[in-house]
A and B are shown apart, each in its own frame.
Chain A
Amino acid sequence: MSHSAVVDAAELARFRELQQLAYEAAQSVGEGLEPGVTERQAARRIREYLVARGVQDWFHTPFAWFGDRTAFRRFKVPLQFFPTNRRLAEGMPFILDCAPVRDGYVADIGYAGCLGENRVFERLMDDLGAYRQLIVEQVRAGNTLRDIYGAVDALISEQGYDNRHQVYPGRVIAHQVGKVHSRLPTFMVGGFGIRSLQTLFGDLLVERMHHRSPLWADGEISNHPATPGMWAVEPHIGFRGVGVKFEEILVVTTDGDAYWLDDDLPHVRRWSGKVATA
């Protein structure tokens, strides 16, 4: 369980491996998306890709958002997160988000892409890099999760965008993850795997007793520095009809250090490439 905070190196490697696989799935499906494909079809492709590679369960079922749904425009109820029959067209941004479980290890990733040219998308993607930097720095500095949330908000406002992770239930920018182990059958409740939910609720209970939340938002409950363990962090920014995000695991050690589980990810490669050529 994640509240047995410390994860050893071998286990970290397994988490990294699964996160790699999940990004590989999103990227390969994303690059293969053609005009006219629906969100549902895209989500199914991710599922098939991962099941074929040994994924047995899901922390949540794969999501796919196209067009202005990447920015969660006019989202009022959680049902709207689920894939629809919206079709992809030239110039449309998309986000693929999946959270596979394999052998008790969990990944939760988000991948933003675009079919063809879209200047707003490119600009947002370039600007998204600053959040990855900001978050890890502030966690290392021992700032409270609430303050970091505020710092992210300030950067969003400075950049002239809007905060889209506040649309997620609980306004969360991140949640803790850990190994899932349970003997319950594989089942989905509202798109979330039952065993994962059981783990998350288990965490919630334990954390609540310590007045700490495995969810990271801007409320009183996040008024503490990051608890050691693994956090799936997902800053999601939007501008007009375009939203972009990444989601990946941040490791927080018991001595308060923090680092991203893996730097060899599509969005990170994009940014380091940009920096290198700049």
Chain B
Amino acid sequence: MSEFKPTYFPSRRPAQVVACEELTDGVVRLTLRDAFIAAHARPAQFVNLYTSNAQRLSPRPFGVCEVNGDEFTLIFAVIGKGTGEFRGLKPGQTVDVLGPLGRGYDLREPADYVLVGGGLGVPPLVRAAQELHGRDDCHATVLFGYRNVHFADRYAAKYSDDVRSIDESEGNVITILDRWAEERGIAGGADGHLLPCAEGERPVRILTCGPLGMMKAVSAWGRDHGVAVYASLEARMGCGFGTCVVCTVHTTRGILKTCVDGPVFNTAELEGWEAAR
């Protein structure tokens, strides 16, 4: 028989656990070693983790938070069976991974990027800040909303000089988005729209990830202010790489797969979002 050799795009494989720490109750930061993911994961691309229990076959997708050498980190909330298992991972153990997967944020355009994250939607935005860091044709403003503990500010602060956050006792991301816009003097013209940027000024682009309600509010804010909003969506996934067609989303381009056509979509092309404003 022929020996089974890995393929040119690495398939599912074990990654070594470098560190696993609880940032706050039920929020875990996991550092894994996988040179391929570390080298190639773009902001809002995700990786599938698989539990070691052969009874649980479904993938657990997580947005890549930071990459460093041949390591990458994830930040996740403990929700159910899979994340309950991953929280207990110890350095030296391995966990099966697949990725990076999906289409992330497009950061090629020189722009002022406003990264609006809520709860466990912050990891892809930290990765976006990391990628924008050091680009002199861009600027990243980070606006995070938390339930209570501001667990991810320090990671974003490594890459952005402008990190603002808020928790539920003070308001929500729209509160800080309004404040930011006011400071920038772009609270909108008489018609509520963002004034066209001055000659040579960079356009504003909003990247968002977080709870659906929050992303819809951010999308509506963007529409009202004439700013394009790119959202990273969540979906229950059966494969994560485009085979099973369980992760569909209705868009103006037709029914697309969240896992390979997204998870990032321009919110203007998402159908049914308007109604929920």
Do A and B actually bind?
Answer: no
Binding site for A on B (CB under 8 A): none
